[in-house]
Amino acid sequence: MSERAGNGNGSLTAKDFRTDQEVRWCPGCGDYAILAALQSFLPQLGIPRERIVFISGIGCAARFPYYMNTYGMHSIHGRAPAIATGLATTRPDLSVWVVTGDGDALSIGGNHLIHALRRNVNLTILLFNNRIYGLTKGQYSPTSELGKVTKSTPMGSLDWPFNPISLAIGAEATFVARAIDTDKQGMAEVLRAAAEHRGSAFVEILQNCPIFNDDAWTFVRDDKQGVNRIVLRHGEPITWGAEREKALRQLPDGTIEACAADEPDVLVHDETHAEPSLAFALSRVTQATHGGTPVGVFRNVERPVYDDLMAEQLRLAEAQRGPGDLNALLRAGETWVVS
């Protein structure tokens, strides 16, 4: 056995998670940063490398598993959450991750995404959102802005875009978060929380495609001062700005407005709020509407986990009926003997 085999005794490093495959993303692609961040983060999980599985669909993001030295499957467009559900529910000993993109998850894969979230399967879903189709060279995606001019929409896209966070919350997700590809620390915090969450964890990662949609997120990527980033922290007032001068508060009609940080009723973030409406209202806060982009954990609640429920039914059935006796089952009902 190779000396680099993971055995979860704390001696794993980022290097252990690198494969010998040459990484083929474009220079400047945000995926490099995410890969590096994940390779740094995973050793901290304390899970043996052999028990980690990455499943992807199709897209630039979906090349991810080839560069992670764990078990991995590069599957078909949009179907990773379904495949991962089959794996997660039959192998509760594994840590299963889904890597997907805005096209893979929200276009062809939309149905599988919402059902995985609804079921609360024990998976961590990383959606790299670059607001474009990169691999197929530049068509618009379900998160591209209305009017986006691309190769397939020369007169501008007619599609109103999805808000992935709102969609996930609407799909009953129990963990919803957003990170930024170049924000290594923020991403690590989000990933840790996602990995610790039992159930489906949905993480949107704002990612830059330098070739087909460069600078889509620059306003929040290159934002060390926090002028645009609204960092959500559970239990803390939601403020941002170079001087932390801006804040959010909730109006009587449930919507959220930007205000000054010294005003009364500044919202204190509660990621565990039972009702998703608060998290949903926060998901509607965007750079365009409020002058800020929330990042961090929007929602983190507990709900029975699909894998556990399934396993429990098997246990219960055996307790109630005794372990299955195949011979007895074949002979159930009316039998007769011919001699």
Partner 1 sequence: MVATIAAGEAPSTVVFEACVIWVGDVAAHALFASPAAAAPPPNKPGRALYLRQGMSSKPVEQLHQVIVRFAGDSGDGMQLTGTQFTSEAAILGNDISTLPDFPAEIRAPAGSLPGVSGFQLHFADHDILTPGDAPTVLVAMNPAALKTNIGDLPKGGTLIVDADAFSERNLQKAGYAQNPLEDGSLAEYQLHAVPLTTLTVGALKGVEGVTPREAERSKNMFALGLMAWLYGRPIEPTIEFLRAKFGAKRPEIAEANVKALQAGYAFGETTESFAVTYEVKPAKLAPGTYRNITGNQALALGLLAASRLSGLPLFLGAYPITPASSILEELAGYKHFGVRTFQAEDEIAAAGAAVGAAFGGALAVTTSAGPGIVLKAETVGLAIMLELPLVICDIQRAGPSTGMPTKPEQADLLLVLYGRNGESPVPIVAARSPSDCFDAALEAVRIALKYRTPVYLLSDAYLANGSEPWLLPDLDALPDLTPSFATAPNAGDAFLPYLRDEHTLARPWALPGTPGLEHRIGGLEKADRTGNVSYDPENHDLMTRLRAQKVAGIAADIPELEVDDPDGEAKVLVLGWGGTYGPTAAAVRRLRAKGKQVAHAHLRHLNPFPRNTGDVLRRYERVLVPEMNLGQLRQLVRAQFLVDAIGYNRVRGQPLRAAELADAVEALL
For binding to partner 1 (CB under 8 A), which residues are involved?
A: 1-2, 5-7, 19, 21, 48-51, 53-55, 58, 65-66, 68-76, 79, 82-91, 93-94, 111-112, 115, 310, 313-314, 316-318, 320-324, 326-327, 329-339
Taking the complex as a whole, the smallest distance from the CB of residue 49 to partner 1 amounts, in Å, to: 6
Query: Considering beta carbons, is residue 18 or 284 the nearer one to partner 1?
Result: 18
Q: How far is the CB of 56 from partner 1 (least distance, A)?
A: 8
Task: Note whether 111 and 123 are within 8 A (CB).
Answer: no
d(CA 300, CA 273) in angstroms, rounded, equals 8
**Rounded to the nearest whole angstrom, what is the least distance from the CB of residue 143 to partner 1 in the complex?**
22
**Cβ 314 to partner 1 shortest distance, Å:** 5
Instruction: At 144, list the tokens.
Output: 């591209």
By C-beta, is 115 or 273 nearer to partner 1?
115
Question: Which is closer to partner 1, CB of 71 or CB of 219?
Answer: 71
Token pair of 103, please? Answer: 């096209």
Judged by beta carbon, residue 31 or residue 189, the one nearer partner 1 is 31
Torsion from C-alpha of 56, 47, 303, 113, nearest 10 degrees:
0
Closest by CA position to 124, among listed 48, 23, 52: 52
Query: Least Å distance between CB 124 and partner 1?
Result: 15
CA separation for the pair 29, 314 (Å, rounded): 45
Closer to partner 1 at the Cβ: 78 or 241? 78
The DSSP H or E segment spanning 311 is helix 306-321
CA 139 to chain centre: 23
Q: Which amino acid type is present at position 1?
A: M
